[in-house]
Structures are given as structure tokens and as C-alpha cells.
Amino acid sequence: MGHDEYQKHDAKILTPSFIVLLTLTLIGFSLIAVRFIKGIGAVTNMSDGYPWGIWITYDVATGTAIACGGYAMAILIYIRNRMHYHPMIRSAILTSMFGYGLAGFSVMVDVGRPWNSYNFFIPSKWQANSAMFEVALCVMAYTTVLLLEFLPAVLTTLEKTEWKTLQLLLDKLYARMGMERPERIGERLDKVKEVAAWLKPRLDKVLIFIIVLGITLPTMHQSSLGSLLLIASTKLHPLWHTGFLPLLFLINCMFIGYSIAILESVISCYAFKRPFETKELSGMARIIPWLTVIWLSVVIGDLAWRGQLGAALSFDFYSRFFLLEFGLVAGGSLLLFSGRKRESIRWLFLSAALIVLGGALYRFNVYLIGFNPGKGWHYFPSLAELMITVGIVAFEILGYQVLVKILPVLPKLHTRQQLDEAAGQAVAEKA
Amino acid sequence: MKKPSRRDFLKIMGASGAALMAGRVGAEASELHQVNNDTLGMLYDATKCVGCKACMSACKRVNSDYGSLAFEQAKFDSDGLWDAPQDLSGSTRTLIKLFKESDKQWSYVKYSCMHCQKPSCVSVCPVSAMTRDKVTGTVDYNKDTCIGCRYCQIACAFNIPKFQWDKAIPQIVKCDLCKNTNLAKKGITACAEVCPVGAIMFGKRKDLLEEANRRLRESPGKYINHIYGEKEVGGTNHLYLSAMQFNKLGLPVLAEAAPAEFSEKIQHTIYKGFIAPVALYGTLCFVALKNMKGHGKHQENENKEDSDHGA
Ligand code: SF4
Ligand code: SF4
Ligand code: SF4
């Protein structure tokens, strides 16, 4: 599994979309500053009836599912043994890393007393009954794991770099100050290279254990994200309140994960003008309908069992959102059952988009739309609240855009051929 | 709503092949909670209450809570003396409300923490900032550990914990049964102490229940024949008597089972002894290592296949 399966995307960093994203990011982050100065009430429409708004619902509950591409790919590659998807994993991990990192960041914006978070590390304060305790620890651990999984990309670059830009910058800086550049700096930079070179093979050796941890942790916390709402038996509509919440959330994040991996690949190939990875994508798309069929059957079976099928078809406010969620997931999956449609990028994109939308709507239904704390409470996010979420998402895309241009993340073009050559060599050597 | 039993839950988890299953061994339901009637609480009799709100101001006095929220203050009251909160809030732990159906049918009601026997807020708090005192049964909050996640607000069926949305350094606010204030000093809650008509009785749950039952027995026509809080969500220490339907007073109709028991049962099934996660990790490691090892050969075969196709 060589690291030369990946390559940098050679392109300018300062593009128009970069400027747009940067602006959105800056707006979002200044609103975050307002939130810390004036209190959460100053920027949001959250209330004591709806204490969790769009930040928890989108950034955390839905955002981490959308960031499950890395999780889904890792299962596919390492557990289901489809190694030929390996070139695609690095970009999936990068998006997961941003998704999770920023979900954690959103939580810190959302909670009222973030400075007390150290209590998560004090055993006497642990509260194993709380699903949130489990989610918090797992998400922190998983973000670390993602960083480690991504580290090889950084190390490879460090190892090879000549520090050209930095050297130039330093030269200019010292010239401006009218000084000679001290030798030491060059030595230090070399030292960093050495460390990177030393670390990489060692990391490679244990990487598989970290990767498997990266499969275990999301399995735990994605199901716990469903468990979070188990307690709200009087507030969450019976269409969604069920003992199967953990299981439904787990399967949900898997099919969202594969679908989002397809979307990401299509979008980035389109945006970066690379050939589409049709063969890999259609292979991956074959798994999705099986997951959704299980999910949909659990949903229906559970509703029937609890005698809620009538409520599901009553066409009231809740039933409509339920049917929409159900229809999106079912519709997208139906398309994927057709082998011919799986071969077409257009259809792949459409069905993956439908499934992601449906899966995300399910999470919105559970966290917000189906949540009713009682008479007199209403919630719709305020503009500032939305802009903070938009800012965070913009930062996510921005980070991805920049990092794929400075680190080897995207699959190397013609990797297939190279692998063949490499294998051929290996055989030749053995012979 | 019919709740899935643990066994059924496990069965289906197994059928769908969820690897979490490994935790079945040794997974036990959480111990059933037992109602402790020696704990402290209050009995509020809505038929006695005259709506003077003396309890509200006493509560604010002992807790040094500031006046009502900005939007609740009257325009003419620039110095904030006229305090008329519309709901419990980050500055209001108890509240008297009037519910009027007609000129003959009306009732006051007092809101404050129910001090549940199996409190949802305690069950969900990730850092044990909400705690229930084993001896007194009082549910208390500690702002020095709270992270402000507001999960307790999501969980409480009575919408009791309130958050200070208007503050840069906010906290959760709720009745602590005067544990840290009046009760510590005078042995009685401030609201019960000041009530001029004895509508709030403070005492042990068993005495309160006995008194409530006596009142129901002696004046059968006067009350709805139900002690609100006796059975709801596994029993609460704040009890109510009323002449009007409780749900009309904003006290929700609730099942007898504590929601926290349901959620903890499932959480424990999955995580008991951390066996399932460890087993999952072990199994996955095994599979992944095997796959990695097999990969060398695998790749060769695959390449052969590919070239076959190509040929
Ligand atoms: S009423 Fe709500 S806040 Fe009070 S103890 Fe019960 S669950 Fe906790
Ligand atoms: S807001 Fe505070 S008290 Fe409430 S659940 Fe979160 S940490 Fe616990
Ligand atoms: S018991 Fe104390 S804190 Fe609770 S409502 Fe009464 S006065 Fe307020």
C-alpha cells in the first residue's frame, strides 16, 4: 500500500470560490464572537423549549453523518476487503476530519459553559448513563484518530519538501529587517524533515490498528447519537421515538457515508476537472440499497409493531415529513437497484443526493421537526444562527479545497496502471 | 406506546448483523429503581392557593435572582422592581399561574422542580452536574461542573431546568428545594414558609402522601381524585392536589414508567462492561489484519484478472 497512490492537485489556491468561501467563513466567525460576548440568546432563536437548535441538529447530528465517508470507506476497504478503493480513502478521511473537527468546534460554540468541559476527563464526574457522555468521548477520540490517519499525507509532504516558499519568505523577511538569515533555521527545518522521515514508517506499522479504531468509534457514537433522544419519550413524536433509535442512526450513517463518498468524488472530479471514477463509484453504489432496505424495513416493522402506521399515513404535519424522509431514501435506493443507472454518473449523483437528503432529513426529524416540548414553544433558526452554521460549512469546504492543493490527497491519476507495473516488478523480483 | 422489550431489541439487533451484539453476554437491565418515601418534598394544594405570589418573591429573595428577563419587564418600570415573569426562566425558579376556563372554573398552579424519584435530568447529564441526593431525594445542580449542554432541558418532561440565554456566562437555573439556602438555615423551604394560606406543605414524601390522601378522603367532591406526582414518571417529590384537570394546569399527562429507565436500559444493553466495543474492536482488527495479509496475493490475482479482461 504505497503512499504514491495519491497526488497533489496542481492548481491555484486563490480562486473566486476561495474568496466567496472565505467571506462566508469570516461572517460566521464574527457572529461567533458576538455569541461569546453577548450570550447565546443574542444570536439564536433557541429557547428553553427548544434548547437544541440548528447547531446541534445540523453541525453535530447531521454533519457527523455526512462526515461518515471516511468510516464507510474504511469498512469497505479493510473489513470487506476491497483494497482497490484504497486510493479514494485519503480524500474521504480529509472530509471526515473536517466534518468531525468542526462538529466538535460547533459544540464548543453551542454549550454555555465550555470551560467546564475538562470534567469529561475526571472519572468521578463520569456519567455512563448519559448517551451524551459516550458521544462526547467517542467524538473526541475519533477526531484524534482521523488526524492520525491523515498524518501520513502530511509526513510525506514534509519529508519531500524543500521549504521553498518558507525559505523565500524568510529571506524576504530578514532582508527587510536588514539582517543575515541565521544558519540555525535551515538546520531546524532539516530536523523536521528527519523526524517526519523517522516517524512515517513507524506510523505505517501501527496504522491498521488506528484505522480499525476509526471504524469502532463511529459505530459507537453514531448509534449513541440516536440514543440521545431516547429519553425524550414525551417530547419526540411517536413516529420517531423508538427503542431502535440507536440502530436506525447507525445504519443511517452508513448509507449516508457511502452516498456522500459518491457525491464528494463526483463533485471534486467535476470541480478539479479530473476524469470521473465511474467504475469505483458504481461498485460502491451497489452496497447502498442493501443498507437502505434494512433501514427501511426496520422503520416500517417498528412502526407496525408499535401501531403507528396509521399516524405515518395520516398526512398531518409530522406524517408529511416522515413520508418525505422515507420517500427520498426509498426513491434514491430504487434507482440504485438498476445496474444500468449505476453506470451513469448523472444517475449515481442524483440517487446519492436523494439518499443523503432523506437520511439527513431523518436526523432533522428526530432532533427538531418531530420534537415538541409542549404548547407555546416554537423554533426556527435566526439568520445569525444560520450564518454561523454556513460559516462553519464554508470553512470546511475551504479547508478541503486548500489542503488537496498542498498535500497529496486525491487519487493519483492512472493509479491502476502504476499498480500493475508495481505488481509486475514485485513478481519479477521474486522470480 | 408499546415499548420493545430488551429481548426483542436484542433479537433484531442480532438479525440485522449489528456487531454491537457481542455485548449480549452479561448485559443486564439497569436495577429497577425504588421509590423512597422518606425523602423530602412539597405538596401544593391548588384549591387553597390565593395567587398572592409571596412564594415567588421569597424564592427570588433567598436565591438572589435578578428580576425578570428584559422582554418581560414593563416599559414604565425602568428600575425593574415590577417583576412579572411569564414562565420559569433563567431568573425564576418558581411561578404562579392562573388558568381560567370560565368565571366559575379557574385555578392557580405553582411550577417548580418536581424532584423526581428517577430524574431524567440526572440520568442524562454527561458530567454529573445534576445530582440527586440519596438521603433527601433533592435534585440539585452544580454550576461548577455544568458544561451548559442543555441536555437536561431536552430530557425533563416538565420543562423545568431553564438556561440563561441572555448571559455571556450562563448557567442552568432550577429549584433546589432550598437545599443551599432556606432549608439549610431554617429547616423549611422559603416558598412553604411564606405561604399565608398553607397551600404549600413541606415534609417527607410519606407524610405528604398521607396528608393528600386524607384531604381526598375528607372532601371527596372538592378535588379531582388524583395526587399528581404520586406515580407520574416513577414518582415525584413535589405533589399536587387540584380541582381542575391537571393537564389544563399545564401539568402533562405522563406514564408511570420513568423515561430514564427506558433509555438507560438500552444504553446499558449496548455498553454493559464495555464488552461489546472491545469485542467489536478485536473482531475488526482480526478481519482487517487478515485482509491486509491476503492483500499481496489478492492483488496479484486481481491484476491477472484485469489483464485477462484486457486481453
Ligand atoms: S422535574 Fe425535571 S428538573 Fe426536576 S428532577 Fe424531574 S427531571 Fe429533573
Ligand atoms: S446543561 Fe449542565 S446540568 Fe444540564 S445536562 Fe448539560 S451539563 Fe448537565
Ligand atoms: S423550594 Fe426554594 S428554590 Fe424551590 S421553589 Fe421553593 S423557594 Fe424556590
Q: Lowest-confidence range among A46-60, A128-142, A357-371?
A: A128-142
Both A105 and A1 in a single domain? Answer: yes
In a domain, B8, yes or no: no
Is A2 near chain B, with CB under 8 Å?
no
pLDDT at A371 over 90: yes
In a domain, A241, yes or no: yes
In a domain, A288, yes or no: yes
Partners of B204 in the β-ladder: B40
For residue B81, the model assigns a pLDDT of 58
Q: Half-sphere exposure of A321 toward its Cβ, with a 13 Å CA cutoff?
A: 18
Query: What residues have CB less than 8 Å from B210, skipping those under 6 apart?
Result: none
For residue B22, the model assigns a pLDDT of 35
Nearest by CB to residue B291, choosing from A81, A126, A220, is A81
Mutational pocket test of ligand 3: of B61, B175, B195, the residue with most ligand atoms within 8 Å of the beta carbon: B175
In a domain, B263, yes or no: no
Between A362 and A286, the more confident residue is: A362
Segments forming the whole domain that contains residue B75: 40-257
Find the mean pLDDT for residues B277-296.
85
Q: Do A305 and B13 touch (CB under 8 A)?
A: no
Mutational pocket test of ligand 2: of B113, B132, B172, B173, the residue with most ligand atoms within 8 Å of the beta carbon: B172
Both A373 and A387 in a single domain? Answer: no
Q: Which residue has the cell 434494512?
A: A294
pLDDT at B57 over 50: yes
Q: Is A324 exposed, middle or buried (0-12, 13-18, 19+ CB in 10 A)?
A: middle
Both A223 and A363 in a single domain? Answer: no
Are B30 and B258 in contact by the 8 Å Cβ rule? The answer is: no
What is the CATH number for B67? 3.30.70.20
Both A115 and A39 in a single domain? Answer: yes
Question: B162 — phi, psi (to 5°)?
Answer: -120, 150
pLDDT digits 0-9 by tens, A122-173: 888 888 889 999 999 999 999 999 999 999 888 888 887 777 777 778 888 8
For residue B15, the model assigns a pLDDT of 39
What's the whole-number average pLDDT of chain A?
88
For residue B32, the model assigns a pLDDT of 57
Nearest Cα residue to B185 out of B195, B196, B193, B197: B193
Nearest by CB to residue A132, choosing from B151, B298, B300, is B151
Those of residues 159-218 in B touching chain A at CB distance below 8 A are 159, 161-171
* pLDDT band at B304; cut points 50, 70, 90: very low
For residue B128, the model assigns a pLDDT of 94
Instruction: Tell me how far apart the alpha carbons of residues B198 and A172 are, in angstroms, rounded to a whole number.
Output: 82
Tell me, rounded to whole angstroms, the distance of Cα A147 from its chain centroid. 13
Q: Lowest-confidence range among A110-119, B21-30, B116-125?
A: B21-30
For residue B76, the model assigns a pLDDT of 65
Q: What is the DSSP letter of A7?
A: E
Both A101 and A185 in a single domain? Answer: yes
In a domain, B306, yes or no: no
* pLDDT band at A320; cut points 50, 70, 90: very high
Nearest CA distance, B183 vs chain A (angstrom): 26
In a domain, B47, yes or no: yes
Q: Do A247 and B89 touch (CB under 8 A)?
A: no
- C-alpha angle A401-A405-A410 in degrees, rounded to nearest 5: 85
How many CB atoms lie under 10 A from the CB of residue B183?
Answer: 21
pLDDT at B121 over 70: yes
Query: What residues have CB less than 8 Å from A91, skipping those under 6 apart?
Result: A264, A265, A268, A400, A404, A409, A410, A411
Both A331 and A395 in a single domain? Answer: no
- The reply to whether ligand 3 has any atom less than 6 angstroms from the CB of B183 is no
How large a percentage of chain A has pLDDT more than 70?
95
For residue A159, the model assigns a pLDDT of 80
Q: Do A83 and B298 touch (CB under 8 A)?
A: yes
pLDDT digits 0-9 by tens, B241-264: 999 999 999 999 999 999 999 999
**Whole-angstrom distance between the N-terminal and C-terminal Cα of chain A?**
21
Instruction: Please spell the DSSP secondary structure of A245-291, one letter per residue.
Output: HHHHHHHHHHHHHHHHHHHHHHHHHHHTT----HHHHHHHHTTHHHH
Instruction: Tell me how far apart the alpha carbons of residues B190 and A216 are, in angstroms, rounded to a whole number.
Output: 51
Both A337 and A224 in a single domain? Answer: no
Mutate to test the interface with A, among B154, B285, B290 (most CBs of A within 10 A): B154
In a domain, B145, yes or no: yes
Both A18 and A137 in a single domain? Answer: yes
pLDDT digits 0-9 by tens, A412-424: 876 555 444 444 4
Nearest CA in chain B to A81: B291
Is B89 near chain A, with CB under 8 Å?
yes
* pLDDT band at A278; cut points 50, 70, 90: confident
Both A84 and A151 in a single domain? Answer: yes
Instruction: Tell me how far apart the alpha carbons of residues A274 and A394 are, in angstroms, rounded to a whole number.
Output: 23
**3-class secondary structure for chain B?**
CCCCCHHHHHHHHHHCCCHHHHHHCCCCCCCCCCCCCCCEEEEEECCCCCCCCHHHHHHHHHHCCCCCCHHHCCCCCCCCCCCCCCCCECCECCEEEEEECCCCCEEEEEECCCCECCCHHHHHCCCCCEEECCCCCCEEECCCCCCCCCHHHHHCCCCCCEECCCCCCCCEECCCCCCCCHHHHHCCCHHHHHCCCCCEEEEEHHHHHHHHHHHHHHCCCCCCCCCECCCHHHCECEEEECCCCHHHHCCCCCCCCCHHHHHHHHHHHHHHHHHHHHHHHHHHHHHHHHHHHHHHHHHHHHHHHHHHHHC
Instruction: Tell me how far apart the alpha carbons of residues B59 and B54 are, in angstroms, rounded to a whole number.
Output: 9
Q: Do A127 and B159 touch (CB under 8 A)?
A: no
Find the mean pLDDT for residues A49-71.
93
Bridge-based pairing of strands B162-163 and B172-173 is antiparallel
Nearest CA in chain B to A35: B168
In a domain, A237, yes or no: yes
For residue A423, the model assigns a pLDDT of 47
Q: How many CB pairs under 8 A join A and B?
A: 232
A203 grid coordinates: 506510523
Are B254 and B159 in contact by the 8 Å Cβ rule? The answer is: no
Instruction: Tell me how far apart the alpha carbons of residues A144 and A100 are, in angstroms, rounded to a whole number.
Output: 10
Nearest Cα residue to B199 out of B218, B217, B215: B215
Instruction: Tell me how far apart the alpha carbons of residues A121 and A117 are, in angstroms, rounded to a whole number.
Output: 8
Q: Which residue has the cell 453523518?
A: A65
* pLDDT band at A228; cut points 50, 70, 90: very high
Nearest by CB to residue B280, choosing from A133, A219, A241, is A219
Question: A152 — phi, psi (to 5°)?
Answer: -50, -40
Which DSSP helix (H) or strand (E) runs through A6? strand A6-7
In a domain, B45, yes or no: yes
Between B69 and A52, the more confident residue is: A52
Q: Is B195 exposed, middle or buried (0-12, 13-18, 19+ CB in 10 A)?
A: buried
For residue B19, the model assigns a pLDDT of 38
Q: How far is the CA of A134 from the centre of ligand 1 (A)?
A: 22
Segments forming the whole domain that contains residue A240: 232-261+284-377
In a domain, B286, yes or no: no
For residue B69, the model assigns a pLDDT of 55
B49 grid coordinates: 392557593
B214 grid coordinates: 386524607
How large a percentage of chain A has pLDDT more than 90?
57
Bridge-based pairing of strands B238-241 and B40-45 is parallel
Please list every protein residue whose CB sits less than 6 Å from any atom of ligand 1: B 113-116, 119-121, 139, 156, 158, 160-161, 174
- The reply to whether ligand 3 has any atom less than 6 angstroms from the CB of B138 is no
Bridge-based pairing of strands B106-111 and A6-7 is unpaired
For residue B43, the model assigns a pLDDT of 97
Both A79 and A56 in a single domain? Answer: yes
For residue A386, the model assigns a pLDDT of 96
Instruction: Tell me how far apart the alpha carbons of residues B225 and B110 are, in angstroms, rounded to a whole number.
Output: 19
Both A13 and A102 in a single domain? Answer: yes
Is A82 near chain B, with CB under 8 Å?
no
* Number of domains into which chain B is organized: 1
Tell me, rounded to whole angstroms, the distance of Cα A344 from its chain centroid. 25
Are A319 and A311 in contact by the 8 Å Cβ rule? The answer is: yes
Query: What residues have CB less than 8 Å from A218, skipping those under 6 apart?
Result: A68, A71, A138, A142, A253
Nearest CA in chain B to A421: B303
* pLDDT band at B71; cut points 50, 70, 90: low
* pLDDT band at A361; cut points 50, 70, 90: very high
Q: Do B281 and A213 touch (CB under 8 A)?
A: yes
Q: State whether the Cα torsion A387-A393-A396-A398 is positive or negative.
A: negative
Q: Lowest-confidence range among A220-224, A236-240, B6-10?
A: B6-10
Nearest CA in chain A to B152: A51
Between B222 and B299, the more confident residue is: B222
In a domain, B177, yes or no: yes
Q: Which residue has the cell 412579572?
A: B84
* Number of domains into which chain A is organized: 2
Those of residues 362-421 in A touching chain B at CB distance below 8 A are 373-375, 416, 419-420
* pLDDT band at A71; cut points 50, 70, 90: very high
Which DSSP helix (H) or strand (E) runs through A411? strand A410-411
